[in-house]
């Protein structure tokens, strides 16, 4: 029993120190743990072999040398790795020992029968290489294992002729140990790997769920600043988005004298009032399926017919403008503030696209945009002013008042119209005049 003291001296502490000292990436750490478990299992097996051969007498002392040699080389390489952080050196040494030692012991004992197939322990080398090094690097180890099996089979008769006399009960014990030990170690290794795989899959599922949540959040943020169709094109890595539209309708709406109205208001109250106004306008743009381009201070810009083309863009914009006026009246009554608004509308061709690399902006360019802005700027409080181009598109569906030509900067004298109401459809399908706003 004294002979067991050396191989079993503090194996738990040594392996614990080995695993605790690892500072490699997760994949290397996993391989280190697997190899550490295999070394610990082999340590127990070597202790068993030393005990069995020592109990058979002095004639079997040569057999004791191999497990001792394995333990010395194994733990020496372990200490060297722990000192120099050379995991590849330690791995190679352990795999070589796991592969070669069982075959040497089988040859010395006397072949397959006498050793009860102790060479089967060598399969742990290619299995360990597979788990630690991966499929590609494990192939040579498996080929080496197969070559040693073939060599042992071809030379089995030669080794049998010099077989040591092993008692039958010892052979049966060897047989049980070899079959049961290898199967147990393989099962524990596979179970450990399966546990790690399930843990990794659960972690991946959690990260995928988090990623989906973040992606949905990013999509919502993107849709807050870009139309959906444009955002989809950006997500498909379209580098430049610039489109020409032959006919759209643009509206500018601006709160009249809002600076004076908001004077003396607390910042929170001011933001809350603007938020209620623009949130109501946003609801109306969604109702009519038009696109809000931006807000500039207390001004509001909307386009109909882009990026989604539609034939009724002018009619839809007129309905939106009328509803916005009504909504503002309701908000003014609820807030106790005198809220008024100028609205300007124009129809015509534009260029639309996305500018910016970090802070994206979908915007419109062209004379149509400038004229819509002029209609708002030269308009009257609580009046919807439209250009002649827009009037020609919807003049038979809405009620208008012709305004005296106005002088517009850069355009000279311009004819415009005040949109004052809708025309209802009677039973015959014709439009009839409705009450003015």
Task: Look at the domain 239-433 and name its fold.
Answer: Alpha-Beta Plaits (3.30.70)
Q: Is 309 a catalytic residue?
A: no
Cα 348 to Cα 241, 396, 418: the distances in Å are 20, 18, 18
Domain boundaries, given as residue ranges, for the chain: 2-208, 239-433
- Whether omega for the bond prior to residue 51 falls within 30 degrees of 0, making it cis, is no
Comparing C-alpha atoms, which of 84, 336, 37 is closest to residue 189? Answer: 37
Determine which one of 233, 374, 399, 422 is catalytic.
374
From first to last of its 437 residues, what are the pLDDT tens digits of the chain? 444 444 444 444 544 444 444 444 444 556 667 777 777 777 777 887 788 777 777 777 777 787 888 788 877 877 777 677 677 777 888 888 888 888 888 888 888 888 888 888 888 889 888 888 888 888 999 999 999 999 999 998 888 887 777 778 777 887 888 888 888 888 887 887 788 788 888 888 888 888 888 878 877 777 777 777 787 787 787 778 889 999 999 999 999 988 887 777 888 888 899 899 999 999 999 999 999 999 888 899 999 999 999 999 999 999 999 999 999 999 999 988 889 999 999 999 999 998 877 677 889 999 999 999 999 999 999 999 999 999 999 999 999 999 999 999 888 999 999 999 988 766 555 555 544 44
Determine which one of 409, 413, 422, 433 is catalytic.
409
Q: Is 337 a catalytic residue?
A: no
Token pair 């060297």 in the structure block, residue: 80
What is the Cα–Cα distance from 129 to 102, expressed in whole angstroms? Answer: 17
What is the Cα–Cα distance from 434 to 416, expressed in whole angstroms? Answer: 21
What is the Cα–Cα distance from 250 to 287, expressed in whole angstroms? Answer: 17
β 341-355/383-387 pair status: parallel
């Amino acid at each position: 029993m004294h002979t067991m003291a050396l191989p079993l001296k503090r194996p738990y502490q040594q392996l614990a120190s080995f695993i605790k000292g690892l500072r490699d990436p997760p994949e290397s750490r996993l391989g280190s743990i697997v190899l550490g478990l295999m070394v610990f299992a082999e340590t127990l097996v070597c202790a068993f072999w030393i005990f069995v051969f020592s109990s058979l007498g002095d004639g079997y002392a040569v057999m004791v040398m191999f497990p001792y040699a394995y333990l010395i080389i194994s733990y020496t390489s372990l200490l060297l790795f722990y000192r120099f952080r050379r995991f590849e050196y330690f791995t190679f040494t352990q795999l070589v020992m796991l592969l070669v030692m069982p075959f040497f012991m089988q040859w010395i004992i006397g072949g397959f029968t006498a050793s009860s197939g102790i060479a089967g322990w060598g399969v742990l080398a290619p299995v360990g290489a597979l788990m630690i090094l991966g499929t590609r690097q494990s192939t040579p180890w498996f080929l080496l294992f197969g070559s040693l099996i073939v060599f042992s089979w071809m030379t089995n008769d030669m080794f049998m002729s010099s077989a040591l006399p092993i008692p039958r009960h010892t052979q049966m014990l060897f047989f049980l140990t070899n079959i049961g030990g290898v199967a147990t170690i393989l099962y524990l290794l596979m179970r450990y790997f399966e546990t790690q795989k399930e843990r990794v899959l659960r972690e991946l599922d959690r990260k995928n769920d988090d990623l989906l949540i973040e992606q949905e959040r990013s999509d919502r943020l993107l849709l807050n600043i870009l139309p959906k169709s444009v955002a989809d094109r950006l997500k498909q890595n379209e580098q430049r988005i610039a489109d020409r539209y032959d006919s759209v309708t643009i509206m500018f709406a601006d709160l009249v004298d809002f600076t004076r109205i908001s004077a003396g208001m607390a910042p929170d109250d001011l933001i809350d009032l603007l938020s209620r106004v623009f949130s109501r306008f946003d609801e109306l743009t969604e109702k009519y399926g038009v696109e809000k381009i931006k807000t500039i201070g207390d001004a509001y810009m909307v386009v109909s017919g882009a990026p989604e083309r539609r034939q009724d863009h002018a009619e839809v914009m007129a309905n939106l403008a009328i509803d916005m006026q009504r909504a503002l009246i309701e908000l003014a009554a609820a807030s106790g503030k005198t809220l008024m608004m100028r609205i300007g509308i124009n129809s015509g061709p534009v260029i639309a696209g996305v500018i910016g690399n970090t802070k994206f902006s979908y915007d419109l360019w062209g004379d149509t945009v400038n004229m819509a802005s002029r209609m708002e700027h030269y308009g009257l409080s609580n009046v919807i002013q439209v250009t002649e181009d827009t009037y020609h598109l919807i003049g038979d569906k809405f009620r208008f008042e012709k305004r005296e030509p106005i002088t517009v900067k850069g355009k000279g004298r311009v004819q415009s119209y005040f949109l004052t109401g809708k025309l209802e459809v009677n039973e015959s399908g014709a439009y009839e005049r409705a009450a003015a706003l």
